């Protein structure tokens, strides 16, 4: 049976609820909203013993209120939070005016409900069994929503929707069922859905919401954009679309998700769409999810590919005349003058146990504090994200704790500017879905630079393959360097010493494809020399190469430049009789 015409609204409602909940026991959730005051109230009914009370509640409340219900059953009548989720028989999507006429690459839904005007629809798939694992349900609903271009705010397991035979008060229309197919759908039929290529935000993903005035002052608003944001009131029926429009404005201005949420919360406090609802933050995050999905990472489509050029008058591949090019107002900005520029691509290489990871962590620390790094001046404090793929959380914590970085002096700067992502596994820089997930993290925190430990683990593929390397570097160039304006610092290793090349410290000695060395703007090598470490310059594209020098590892796991008082000609002199340093923490 592909279509349904209901003659008895009460019977239609009962059949629908029995189809959704089946013979399972638990608390059914049916909140209401007063369309005049936006007051939101929660109601729970024990299913199935309270079936009649639930039906009567929906039937009577819909005359004066917006009535909703949750497709999931709950273990308690306390609240409809995820920790109280007991299970559900269905998965679903919601379309906000853009429902497709048909689908061919996913199972046909069991139920289609028109919630108000044309193409505002809810689709349900009845599963063969009652699923209690919330992660399974949310994984499928999120993938369905993204794949079908549905509302990305409606994938959560504690979502509420409109039951049939109720009134949508803003439009004055009745919620109706127009497809009904009782045969359940095997959950395995959803295995072929592609993964969501971007992270769908949840409430716990944003821990700090910046003050709205700080956010407003940070960006260059156009007069029309700011006038729209400052509107004191939006008419009913237009508030959702207004919040979505504002979300697009924020993202186009370059705001992070937390900053966008700050703006939306402020606007909603005046416009009153979700401000009186308990799930206000989640609903606004749903709007951000929707807007973010329409604005994939800079330089990419949703699948990570390059966007096509639709405007023939302004092609994506911009060609300058010589005069246009030379008169472009653009300046090279340095992170550290003479070593690494903003948007630069650096690599620190060397053999095992020479100190590459430890030196890179110290580099991140000095940038965070705005302190000098070895022989170079750090002009100001800068935010750096350390992505640890070789060391998991506990190992990296042990190392950094022994580095004694936490001091009262500049501790606030260190806390603000040194970000740590302790994975212990590869981010797979050549994978499209992983690229988008990493881009969301970077968009949230907006670091000045990113340190990856290490390049080989980050790629996790054949480093001698030109295609593998070019695919990974293409993402680094387009999204991280150009899109987000970050410098990128990789830790890598050289080829093993061989007869005829016992000291592989040249650019061609980097392990892997020659495209690696060709892409770098800065390449620095470390090499053990007795108890010292030689620092040499393999490549420096934007400045004069520096002379190699010696550093020594201190007992507090820091480094300092070794200076031989017996020499004055700048040449390296290896001291004799220097005792070996404690190498317990060598990496």
- Residue 578 forms part of a structural domain: no
pTM of the shown model: 0.50
Instruction: Classify each residue of 559-568 as buried b or exposed e, where b means 16 or more C-beta atoms within 10 Å of its C-beta.
Output: beebeeeeee
Q: Which residue's entry shows tokens 């990789």? A: 490
Reference 362, options 584, 563, 581, 556; nearest CA is 556
- One DSSP character per residue, 294-360 reads TSPSTT--TTSPPPPP--TTS-SS----HHHHHT----PPEEETTTEETT-EEEEE-STTSSHHHHH
Q: Which residue's entry shows tokens 């987000």? A: 484
- Residue 284 forms part of a structural domain: yes
Report residue 170 CA to chain centroid gap: 34
In the structure, how many helices (H) and strands (E) does the chain have?
16, 23
Residues of the chain whose pLDDT is less than 70?
1-11, 197-199, 294-317, 406-410, 564-587
pLDDT at 410: 61
Give dist(CA 488, CA 447) in Å, integer.
10
Q: What tokens appear for 454 in the block?
A: 């290490």
Report residue 510 CA to chain centroid gap: 31
- Residue 582 forms part of a structural domain: no
Are residues 207 and 155 part of one domain? no
Are residues 212 and 172 part of one domain? no
- Residue 26 forms part of a structural domain: yes
Are residues 490 and 374 part of one domain? yes
571, 521 Cβ separation under 8 angstroms: no
- Residue 568 forms part of a structural domain: no
* pLDDT tens sequence across 412-452: 888 899 999 999 988 889 887 778 778 888 888 889 999 99
Give, as one character, the DSSP assignment of residue 172. T
* pLDDT tens sequence across 215-266: 999 898 988 999 999 999 998 778 888 998 999 999 888 888 899 999 999 9
Are residues 145 and 44 part of one domain? yes
Q: How far is CA 335 from CA 372, 415, 459, 518, 558, in A?
A: 12, 20, 25, 21, 21
Report residue 430 CA to chain centroid gap: 17
Q: Which helix (H) or strand (E) holds 518?
A: helix 514-519
Are residues 471 and 429 part of one domain? yes
CATH code, domain with 387: 3.40.50.300
At residue 585, φ and ψ (nearest 5 deg) are -110, 20
Range of the domain at 113: 9-190
SS3 30: coil
Are residues 165 and 98 part of one domain? yes
How many domains are contained in the chain?
3
CATH code, domain with 157: 3.30.70.1790
Give, as one character, the DSSP assignment of residue 117. S
pLDDT at 579: 40
C-alpha neighbours within 13 Å on the C-beta side of residue 52: 1
- Residue 402 forms part of a structural domain: yes
Domain boundary among 293, 321, 344: 293
Are residues 245 and 120 part of one domain? no
Are residues 154 and 214 part of one domain? no
pLDDT at 438: 86
Domain boundary among 190, 215, 245: 190
Are residues 351 and 269 part of one domain? no
Domain boundary among 190, 219, 251: 190
Are residues 234 and 132 part of one domain? no
Give dist(CA 339, CA 283) in Å, integer.
46
Neighbours of 173 (CB within 10 A): 15
Query: Sign of torsion, CA 281 283 284 289?
Result: positive
Reference 258, options 440, 479, 439; nearest CA is 440
Are residues 211 and 103 part of one domain? no
Q: What tokens appear for 54 in the block?
A: 């639930």
Strand partners, 420: 386
Are residues 475 and 541 part of one domain? yes
Give dist(CA 272, CA 236) in Å, integer.
9
What count of residues does the chain have?
587
243, 286 Cβ separation under 8 angstroms: no
């Amino acid at each position: 049976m592909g279509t349904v015409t209901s003659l008895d609204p009460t019977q239609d409602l009962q059949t629908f609820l029995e189809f959704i909940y089946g013979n399972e026991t638990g608390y059914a959730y049916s909140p209401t909203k007063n369309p005049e005051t936006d007051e939101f109230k929660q109601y729970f009914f024990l299913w199935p013993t309270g079936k009649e009370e639930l039906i009567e509640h929906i039937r009577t409340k819909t005359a004066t209120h917006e009535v909703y219900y949750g497709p999931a059953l709950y273990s308690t009548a306390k609240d409809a939070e995820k920790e109280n989720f007991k299970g559900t028989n269905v998965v679903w999507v919601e379309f906000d005016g853009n429902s497709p006429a048909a689908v061919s690459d996913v199972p046909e839904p069991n139920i289609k409900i028109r919630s108000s005007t044309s193409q505002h629809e809810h689709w349900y798939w009845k599963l063969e069994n009652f699923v209690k694992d919330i992660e399974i349900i949310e994984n499928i609903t999120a993938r369905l929503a993204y794949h079908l271009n549905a509302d990305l705010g409606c994938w959560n397991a504690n979502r509420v929707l409109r039951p049939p035979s109720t009134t949508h008060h803003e439009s004055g229309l009745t919620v109706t069922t127009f497809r009904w197919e009782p045969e359940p759908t095997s959950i395995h039929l959803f295995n072929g859905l592609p993964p969501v290529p971007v992270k769908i935000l949840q409430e716990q993903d944003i821990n700090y919401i910046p003050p709205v005035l700080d956010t407003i002052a940070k960006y260059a608003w156009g007069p029309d954009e700011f006038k729209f944001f400052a509107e004191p009131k939006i008419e009913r029926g237009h508030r959702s679309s207004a919040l979505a429009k504002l979300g697009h404005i924020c993202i186009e201005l370059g705001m992070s998700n937390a900053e966008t949420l700050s703006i939306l919360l402020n606007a909603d406090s005046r416009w009153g769409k979700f401000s009186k609802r308990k799930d206000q933050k989640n609903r606004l995050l749903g709007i951000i999810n929707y807007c973010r999905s329409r604005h994939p990472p800079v330089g990419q489509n949703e699948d990570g590919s390059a966007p096509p050029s639709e405007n023939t008058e302004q092609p994506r591949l911009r060609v300058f005349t010589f005069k246009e090019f030379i008169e472009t107002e653009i300046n090279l900005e340095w992170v550290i003058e003479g070593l690494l520029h903003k948007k630069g691509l650096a690599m620190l290489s060397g053999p095992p146990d020479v100190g590459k990871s430890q030196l890179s962590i110290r580099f991140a620390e000095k940038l965070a504090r705005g302190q000098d790094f070895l022989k170079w001046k750090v002009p100001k404090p800068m935010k750096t994200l350390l992505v640890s793929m070789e060391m998991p959380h506990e190992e990296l914590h042990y190392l950094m704790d022994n580095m004694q970085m936490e001091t009262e002096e500049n501790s606030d700067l260190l806390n603000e500017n040194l970000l740590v992502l302790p994975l212990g596994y590869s981010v797979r820089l050549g994978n499209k879905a992983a690229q988008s997930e990493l881009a969301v993290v970077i968009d949230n925190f907006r670091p000045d630079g990113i340190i990856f430990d290490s390049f080989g683990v980050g790629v996790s593929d054949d480093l001698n393959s030109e295609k593998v390397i070019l695919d990974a570097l293409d993402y680094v160039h387009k999204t991280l360097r150009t899109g987000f304006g970050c410098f990128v610092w990789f830790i890598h290793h050289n080829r093993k010493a061989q007869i005829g090349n016992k000291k592989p410290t040249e650019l061609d000695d980097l392990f892997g494809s020659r495209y690696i060395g060709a892409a770098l703007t800065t390449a620095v090598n470390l090499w053990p020399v007795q108890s010292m470490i030689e620092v040499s310059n393999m490549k420096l594209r934007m400045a004069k190469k520096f002379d190699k020098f010696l550093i020594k590892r201190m007992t507090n796991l820091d480094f300092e430049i070794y200076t031989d008082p017996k020499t004055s000609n700048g040449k390296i002199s290896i001291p004799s009789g220097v005792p070996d340093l404690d190498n317990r923490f060598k990496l």
